[in-house]
């Protein structure tokens, strides 16, 4: 187990370096001089422009700029944004907000998705099953920003149940609406996944054996059926994490949540290399960690899975 | 190797809890400022709040609230002395500035002539890389090429200093209300006399507001809380107890907040609300012309252009005729109405109707009226000189919502001008378009098409819309326009002590622009927005910013 974890962590290192290189190159390849844009429609004086370029190493060739960046990262310094803020501070400020939002979305996704999926699977072909399929189809096919606006308008503005935007107070009650919206499409995926998996498990010999041993339905469904059905759902959870981070960019913009997505979007628009690369790097890091954890959870769900060197 | 199932579960839960708790401990913060504060929209300042280094709206509106300069502008742009007792000059080149005594920064320090001189000198120094350094370029001693002391600034006593300019400038006092000219307390400077970033994080000003509770007031990417500054005694004294400027990444969110009652004042609108905001807000909607002039530029002098063949038809007499034909061919009324839902006002000159000295019906301004017959006629005259060939494009950046109007203008041109073949040339980012327009390292401009251009006023004067854009070799003269007659009128206007006489010169200079059309005027960007049911006395000033200090809660 320990060896397995260590090996996975070592594997993550080249992935990380590759990611920073790729992202740094992509931002570098973005056409136009970001310093020029700082002046709006006004034309800056060339000497001032040159000074600013020097400060951000923009006058150096790509590989030199990248090495400057790597040197800073290795020393634990993610650089400075155009606004003069340390990217470390920005990360420390925004990641907890997005992590909270993502966690809330995961909880909603798992609880709602698995519950509805389980019931739908057990009542295959009945009214509940069919209506859950229709609803999940709806959520899967409508883009997330449309769901955002609809939720914001009806639940926030018309009914007044939630605040229309989050703003300064990103506490759990205020994040409920964005989290529900963020979770909506994933709930739909989970309903379908759980339902299919439950139906498949129900047809297995061990379920029939369990019933014939005289076990009650209350014992068979949670322990024998549900647990075995959760493996594909858990795999999906890892992939969901990526969807959540991407979805957060849209959702955070619409609900004005001061999180990662919002800041990253602004930084991309302004062409701030240190901010963009650092944010994406940390996102990749999180994604890797989450997926290692998920691989470990498999063993909890299915004792037959073993980790070898 | 088998792992303990319980161990993994416990580990997983512990990890999740840690993340969640870490989130809770750093989150929180106050909700929408203190009670009774006016809430307004804004955006996270792109730079630390140093007056000479803030050239964008987000930081600018905060600086204007927390600092007071020598003069401030009334709603219509009229300059009024704020800290200045008097600004006098015999020759429009050396100004003597007297400061009111007893004026204080919010930390109790007195505002003296040194507060101004030191701040300006810091702002002008090349190695300090201040984005607003060009405001000091007319002061003696200023240099773009090397670090050079502003020798034109001389302290007479604690309340008096003199400013010597490189040449006569009658509108210099008018410029002094811009944020680049604000004074700074001694605390702002490090031991080398340089303004520190730390000060920009927690600025101490002398204006109608101050940061509420120091460092905590500015929650980055979220909002900034400003309390009324009791030590401010000037004409902008706040009628409310404080102001919270909330930062929005998207205007859609801000508009929802205004409708939902979570925001009192909004000074911009998302495009999605253009068609509905009047019915949504009723008499609480704001829609007035602002000091933002929009146009597109067809290069005049091609010497500095990498690809000169692209503009071969736009030089000399032929070029003059073609520019006028293009201007006549654009139906500004319909475009501003249909595409912008009336949130732009068709241009009537090269400046803005909110600026003192603005004049309608300047001779030559008829080229801005839609007249397809006249357009076709002029175009045919140009064809007689040299037949039109090739195509015409207008460059724009797609991250700024310009596609719709560029397409509409091109339709106008294609319909009214024979063989025009006009299309938009899209660049994904503003930075890319800007980089092509500006001179490259070899001093050449790489753009090969006409391009979107515009100007947002720094201070309410006609000169600001003309001098920097169309004077020979001026800083933002991206079309390399040059006309000695125009230069002469601008110079005479600048040197004229009498404002009306100066404005008359500037208006004459505009007559020349209407003949040459270095840029084709399109429209003025309106100030659009609205305010909530709980506030009153909401007005926007000449440069589209709400006058926060006058707003009161009902």
Domain spans of chain B, in order of start: 2-240+528-553, 292-525
pLDDT at B17 over 50: no
Please check whether residues A277 and A154 belong to one and the same domain.
yes
Token pair listed for A34: 């970001």
Please check whether residues A93 and A230 belong to one and the same domain.
yes
Rounded to the nearest angstrom, the minimum Cα separation between A82 and chain B is: 7
Q: H or E stretch including B296? A: strand B285-297
* Better-scored residue on pLDDT, B21 or B487: B487
Of the candidates B222, B221, B192, B186, the residue with the CA atom closest to the CA atom of residue B204: B186
Closest by Cβ to B32, choosing from A167, A303, A307: A167
Please check whether residues A95 and A63 belong to one and the same domain.
no
Asked if B248 reaches chain A (Cβ–Cβ under 8 Å), the answer is yes
Chains A–B, number of C-beta pairs less than 8 Å apart: 218
Domain B292-525, CATH number (from 3.40.50.2000, 3.40.50.300, 3.40.50.620, 3.10.105.10) = 3.10.105.10
Q: Do B32 and A168 touch (CB under 8 A)?
A: yes
Interatomic CA distance for residues B548 and B546, integer angstroms: 6
Q: With pLDDT > 70 as the criterion, what percentage of chain B qualifies? A: 94
Please check whether residues A110 and A170 belong to one and the same domain.
yes
Strands B535-536 and B552-553: antiparallel
Rounded to the nearest angstrom, the minimum Cα separation between B207 and chain A is: 23
Q: How far is CA A216 from CA A117, A212, A219, in A?
A: 21, 10, 5
Interatomic CA distance for residues B464 and B513, integer angstroms: 15
For the segment B503-515, the average pLDDT, to the nearest whole number, is: 95
Please check whether residues A131 and A58 belong to one and the same domain.
no
Asked if B270 reaches chain A (Cβ–Cβ under 8 Å), the answer is no
Query: For an interface test with B, which of A3, A35, A42 has the most B Cβ atoms less than 10 Å from its Cβ?
Result: A42
B123 phi, psi to nearest 5 deg: -70, -25
Closest by Cβ to B249, choosing from A34, A266, A293: A266
Residue ranges in chain A modelled with pLDDT below 50? 309
Contacts of A55 (CB under 8 A, 6+ apart): B129
Q: What is the pLDDT of residues B155-164, one digit of tens each?
A: 999 999 999 9
Token pair listed for B389: 């060939």
Q: How far is CA B320 from CA A28, A100, B315, B326, B331, in A?
A: 41, 62, 7, 10, 19
Residue A34, domain extent: 2-74
Please check whether residues A57 and A185 belong to one and the same domain.
no
In a domain, residue A307? The reply is: no
Q: Do A297 and B28 touch (CB under 8 A)?
A: no
Please check whether residues A114 and A12 belong to one and the same domain.
no
**For residue B34, what pLDDT is reported?**
56
Interatomic CA distance for residues B76 and B304, integer angstroms: 39
Q: What is the pLDDT of residues A216-236, one digit of tens each?
A: 888 888 888 888 888 888 888
Chain A residue numbers with beta carbons less than 8 Å from the beta carbon of B475 are 42-43, 45
Burial of B306 (C-beta count, 10 Å sphere; 0-12/13-18/19+) = middle
Give the count of domains, chain A.
2
In a domain, residue A81? The reply is: no
Q: Do A164 and B260 touch (CB under 8 A)?
A: yes
Interatomic CA distance for residues B291 and B543, integer angstroms: 5
B92 phi, psi to nearest 5 deg: 60, 15
As assigned by CATH, the class of the B2-240+528-553 domain is alpha beta
Of the candidates B214, B189, B193, the residue with the CA atom closest to the CA atom of residue B203: B214
Q: Do B475 and A43 touch (CB under 8 A)?
A: yes
Chain A residue numbers with beta carbons less than 8 Å from the beta carbon of B399 are 269
Closest residue of chain A to B455, computed from CA coordinates: A41
Interatomic CA distance for residues B478 and B69, integer angstroms: 31
Asked if B254 reaches chain A (Cβ–Cβ under 8 Å), the answer is yes
- Give one DSSP letter per residue of B348-360, joined into a string: SSSS-TTSTT--S
**For residue A307, what pLDDT is reported?**
64
Q: Do B438 and A43 touch (CB under 8 A)?
A: yes
**For residue A308, what pLDDT is reported?**
60
Rounded to the nearest angstrom, the minimum Cα separation between A36 and chain B is: 6
Please check whether residues A269 and A181 belong to one and the same domain.
yes
Q: Do B476 and A42 touch (CB under 8 A)?
A: yes
**For residue B6, what pLDDT is reported?**
40
CA triple B540-B354-B358, angle to 5 deg: 170
In a domain, residue A306? The reply is: no
> Within 13 Å and on the Cβ side, how many CA atoms surround A75?
7
b/e code A149-178 from CB counts within 10 Å (16+ = b) = eebbeebbbeeeebbbbbbbbbbeebbbbb
Rounded to the nearest angstrom, the minimum Cα separation between A126 and chain B is: 35
Please check whether residues A158 and A220 belong to one and the same domain.
yes
pLDDT band per the 50, 70, 90 thresholds, residue B329: very high
Closest residue of chain A to B250, computed from CA coordinates: A253
Please check whether residues A70 and A159 belong to one and the same domain.
no
Residue whose entry in the numeric block shows the structure tokens 């963020």: A182
Mean confidence (pLDDT) of chain B: 89
Counting every residue written for chain B, the total comes to 554
pLDDT band per the 50, 70, 90 thresholds, residue B5: very low
Token pair listed for B541: 């000033």
Q: What is the pLDDT of residues B393-451, one digit of tens each?
A: 999 988 777 999 999 999 999 999 989 999 999 988 888 888 888 888 788 899 999 99
**In chain A, which residue ranges form alpha helices assigned H by DSSP?**
2-29, 34-37, 46-55, 62-74, 87-122, 127-141, 144-151, 172-202, 205-212, 217-219, 227-255, 260-270, 273-301
* Least confident segment among B256-260, B392-396, B480-484: B256-260
Q: Do B3 and A299 touch (CB under 8 A)?
A: yes
Please check whether residues A190 and A274 belong to one and the same domain.
yes
Contacts of B11 (CB under 8 A, 6+ apart): none
In a domain, residue A308? The reply is: no
Please check whether residues A274 and A252 belong to one and the same domain.
yes
Interatomic CA distance for residues A53 and A37, integer angstroms: 12
Query: For an interface test with A, which of B129, B203, B254, B427 has the most A Cβ atoms less than 10 Å from its Cβ?
Result: B129
Token pair listed for B511: 């007559």
Q: Do B1 and A38 touch (CB under 8 A)?
A: no
Q: What is the pLDDT of residues B182-198, one digit of tens each?
A: 999 999 999 988 999 88
**Residue A15 DSSP SS3:** helix
* Better-scored residue on pLDDT, B252 or B377: B377
Question: Which residues 108-127 of chain B have a CB within 8 Å of chain A?
Answer: 126-127
């Amino acid at each position: 187990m320990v060896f397995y974890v260590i090996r996975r962590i070592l594997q993550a290192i080249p992935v990380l370096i590759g990611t920073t290189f790729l992202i740094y190159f992509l931002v570098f390849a973005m056409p136009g001089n970001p310093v020029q844009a700082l002046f709006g429609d006004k034309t800056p004086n060339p000497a001032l422009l040159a000074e600013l370029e020097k400060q951000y190493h923009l006058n150096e060739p790509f590989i030199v700029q990248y090495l400057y960046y790597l040197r800073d990262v290795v020393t634990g310094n993610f650089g400075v944004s155009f606004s003069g803020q340390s990217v470390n501070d920005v990360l420390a400020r925004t990641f907890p907000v997005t992590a909270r939002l993502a966690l809330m979305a995961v909880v909603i996704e798992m609880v709602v998705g698995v519950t509805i999926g389980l019931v739908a699977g057990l009542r295959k072909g009945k009214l509940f099953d069919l209506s859950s399929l229709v609803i999940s189809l709806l959520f899967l096919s409508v883009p997330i920003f449309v769901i955002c606006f609809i939720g914001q308008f009806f639940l926030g503005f018309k009914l007044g149940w939630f605040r229309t935007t989050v703003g300064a107070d990103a506490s759990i009650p205020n994040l409920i609406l964005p989290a529900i919206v963020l979770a909506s499409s994933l709930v739909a995926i989970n309903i379908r996944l759980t339902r299919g998996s439950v139906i498949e498990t129900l047809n297995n010999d061990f379920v029939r054996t369990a019933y014939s041993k005289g076990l009650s339905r209350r014992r068979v469904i949670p322990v024998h059926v549900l647990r075995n059905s959760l493996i594909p759902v858990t795999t999906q959870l890892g992939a969901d994490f990526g969807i959540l981070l991407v979805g957060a960019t849209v959702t955070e913009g619409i609900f004005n949540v001061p999180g990662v997505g919002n800041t990253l979007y602004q930084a991309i628009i302004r062409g701030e290399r240190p901010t963009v690369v650092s944010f994406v790097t940390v996102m990749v890091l999180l994604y890797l960690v989450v997926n290692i954890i998920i691989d470990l959870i498999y063993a909890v769900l299915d004792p037959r899975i073993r980790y070898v060197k | 190797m088998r792992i303990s199932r319980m161990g993994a579960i416990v580990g997983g839960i512990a990890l999740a809890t840690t993340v969640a708790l870490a989130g809770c401990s750093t989150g929180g913060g106050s909700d929408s400022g203190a009670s009774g504060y006016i809430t307004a929209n804004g955006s996270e300042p792109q730079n630390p709040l140093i007056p000479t280094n803030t050239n964008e709206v987000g930081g600018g509106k905060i600086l204007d609230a927390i600092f007071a300069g020598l003069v401030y502008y009334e709603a219509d742009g009229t300059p009024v002395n704020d800290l200045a007792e008097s600004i006098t000059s015999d020759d429009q080149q050396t100004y003597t500035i007297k400061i009111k005594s007893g004026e204080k920064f919010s930390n109790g320090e007195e505002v003296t002539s040194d507060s101004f001189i030191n701040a300006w000198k810091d702002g002008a120094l090349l190695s300090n890389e201040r984005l607003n350094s060009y405001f000091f370029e007319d002061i003696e001693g200023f240099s773009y090429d090397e670090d050079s002391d502003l020798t034109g600034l001389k302290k007479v006593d604690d309340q008096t200093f003199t400013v010597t300019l490189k040449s006569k400038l009658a509108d210099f006092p008018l410029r002094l209300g811009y944020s680049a000219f604000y004074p700074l307390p001694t605390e702002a400077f490090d031991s080398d006399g340089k303004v520190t970033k730390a000060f920009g994080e927690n600025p101490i000003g002398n204006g109608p507001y101050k940061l509420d509770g120091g460092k905590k007031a500015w929650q980055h990417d979220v909002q900034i809380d400003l309390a009324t500054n009791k030590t401010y005694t000037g004409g902008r004294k706040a009628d409310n107890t404080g102001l919270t400027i909330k930062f929005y990444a998207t205007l859609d969110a801000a508009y929802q907040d205004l409708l939902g009652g979570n925001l009192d004042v909004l000074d911009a609108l998302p495009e999605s609300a253009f068609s509905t905001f009047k019915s949504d807000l009723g008499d609480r909607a704001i829609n007035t012309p602002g000091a933002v002039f929009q146009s597109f530029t067809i290069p005049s002098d091609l010497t500095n252009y990498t690809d000169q063949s692209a503009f071969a038809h736009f030089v000399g007499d032929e070029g003059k005729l073609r520019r006028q034909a293009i201007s006549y061919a654009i139906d500004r009324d319909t475009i501003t109405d249909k595409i912008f839902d009336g949130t732009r006002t068709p241009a009537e000159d090269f400046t803005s109707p909110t600026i003192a000295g603005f004049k309608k019906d300047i001779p030559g301004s008829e080229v801005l009226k839609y007249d397809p017959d006249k357009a076709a006629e002029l175009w045919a005259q140009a064809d007689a000189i040299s037949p039109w060939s090739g195509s015409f494009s207008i460059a724009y950046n797609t991250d700024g919502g310009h596609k719709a109007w560029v397409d509409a203008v091109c339709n106008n041109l294609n319909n009214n001008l024979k063989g025009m073949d006009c299309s938009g040339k899209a660049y994904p980012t503003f930075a890319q378009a800007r980089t092509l327009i500006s001179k490259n390292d070899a001093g050449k401009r790489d753009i090969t098409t006409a391009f979107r251009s515009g100007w947002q006023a720094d201070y309410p004067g006609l000169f600001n819309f003309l001098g920097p854009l169309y004077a020979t070799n001026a800083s933002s003269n991206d079309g390399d326009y040059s006309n000695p007659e125009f230069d002469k009128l601008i110079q005479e206007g600048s040197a004229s002590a009498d404002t009306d006489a100066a404005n008359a010169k500037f208006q004459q200079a505009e007559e020349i622009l209407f003949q040459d059309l270095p840029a084709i005027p399109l429209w003025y960007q309106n100030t659009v927005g609205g305010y909530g049911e709980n506030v009153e006395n909401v007005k926007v000033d000449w440069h589209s910013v709400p006058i926060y200090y006058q707003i009161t809660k009902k």
